[in-house]
């Protein structure tokens, strides 16, 4: 019964751009934000998120957490009409580590897969591919279409990273009240470079140190003509894993979906001058 209830209430929401911390603990951590166009050379305080869920599924602790979760869910559902717009009604960290991460890991892996795909696209695809806004709209829509537990999916770029004419760009697919999925450019209404977008700041920060990531080692053989395969060419690309992603606390999306959500964000990279960098 509990699981069914949560299935119906807690959707997931993703961004690819964000994420990771190598830090664990519930302490407030001072992060120094490096450069990046905006006036973000300041120190930002926020509660960092746990990199790895410590799943304590012992019967006693689990029922505590679920009880607390259901109380909160009931409370907000009841007061839906007069909640304060925003995303600040969140559940405790316990719910996230004990339940949310475990429940939605498969959905998060879709984002990880997509982030690695995007890194490769931005490394080598022909310019025509990278200029196709249709392609980027389609790839977020297909994620939401693939799984009813996913409420929305976005692919947000840093300033001027998508194309020079656009300051920000973030194709974003989301479910609407009538059940249809709409895709839009979220950056036109949500300026996510601001210091309240913990997800974006943290992704950028972790991505600024490439030593946090591993690289694939492999080869590829390009086709030469109608009947011949080319020789082996070395291929190595930076990769992200589930652990590089960042989970938000479950929150009640008042005024938005009016449902409980968690978001998972994971960075992807651009490539220039032989180096990968946060995109």
Contact with ligand NAG (CB under 6 A): which of 24, 32, 41, 56? 56
Contact with ligand NAG (CB under 6 A): which of 9, 90, 212, 237? 212
Give the CA-trace dihedral at 201, 205, 210, 213, to 10 degrees: -70
Contact with ligand NAG (CB under 6 A): which of 4, 30, 35, 60? 60
Give whichever of 61 and 221 is closer to ligand NAG, judged by the CB atom.
Answer: 61
Question: Which tokens go with 67?
Answer: 């009880």
Beta partners for residue 12, in sequence order:
150, 262
Q: Is there binding between residue 194 and ligand NAG (CB under 6 A)?
A: yes
Q: Specify the stretch interacting with ligand NAG by CB under 6 A; choose among 29-37, 66-74, 107-115, 208-216.
A: 208-216
Strand duo 260-265 + 10-15: pairing = parallel
Give whichever of 220 and 243 is closer to ligand NAG, judged by the CB atom.
Answer: 243
Residue ranges in 216-275 that form contacts with ligand NAG under rule CB under 6 A:
225-227, 241, 272-273
C-alpha separations of 46 from 29, 43, 89, 202, 213 in Å: 6, 10, 16, 10, 23
Contact with ligand NAG (CB under 6 A): which of 58, 82, 84, 178? 58
Q: Is there binding between residue 41 and ligand NAG (CB under 6 A)?
A: no
Strands in the chain per DSSP E: 10-15, 28-32, 43-47, 86-90, 150-154, 171-175, 181-185, 214-215, 218-220, 233-235, 238-239, 246-247, 251-254, 260-265, 269-272, 275-278
Binding-site residue total for ligand NAG (CB under 6 A)? 18
- Give the shortest CB-68-to-ligand NAG separation in angstroms: 13
- Give the shortest CB-13-to-ligand NAG separation in angstroms: 21
């Amino acid at each position: 019964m509990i699981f069914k209830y949560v299935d119906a209430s807690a959707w997931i929401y993703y961004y690819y751009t964000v994420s990771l911390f190598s830090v664990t603990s519930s302490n407030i951590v001072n992060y120094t934000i490096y450069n990046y166009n905006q006036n973000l050379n300041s120190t930002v305080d926020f509660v960092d998120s746990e990199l790895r869920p410590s799943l304590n599924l012992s019967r006693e602790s689990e029922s505590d957490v679920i009880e607390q979760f259901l109380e909160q869910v009931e409370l907000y559902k009841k007061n839906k009409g007069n909640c304060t717009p925003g995303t600040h009604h969140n559940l405790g960290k316990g719910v996230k580590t004990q339940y949310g991460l475990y429940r939605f890991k498969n959905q998060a892996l879709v984002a990880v897969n997509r982030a690695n795909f995007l890194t490769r696209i931005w490394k080598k695809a022909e310019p025509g591919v990278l200029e196709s806004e249709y392609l980027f709209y389609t790839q977020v829509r297909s994620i939401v279409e693939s799984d009813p537990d996913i409420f929305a999916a976005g692919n947000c770029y840093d300033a001027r990273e998508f194309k020079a004419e656009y300051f920000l760009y973030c194709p974003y697919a989301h479910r609407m009240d009538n059940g249809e999925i709409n895709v839009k450019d979220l950056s036109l209404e949500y300026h996510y470079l601001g210091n309240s977008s913990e997800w974006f700041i943290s992704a950028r920060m972790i991505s600024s140190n490439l030593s946090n990531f591993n690289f694939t080692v492999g080869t590829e053989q390009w086709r030469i003509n109608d009947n011949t395969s080319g020789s082996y060419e070395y291929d190595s690309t930076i990769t992200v894993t589930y652990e590089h992603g960042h989970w938000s606390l479950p929150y009640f999306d008042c005024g938005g979906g009016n449902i409980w959500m968690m978001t998972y964000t994971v960075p992807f990279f651009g490539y220039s001058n032989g180096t990968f960098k946060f995109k």
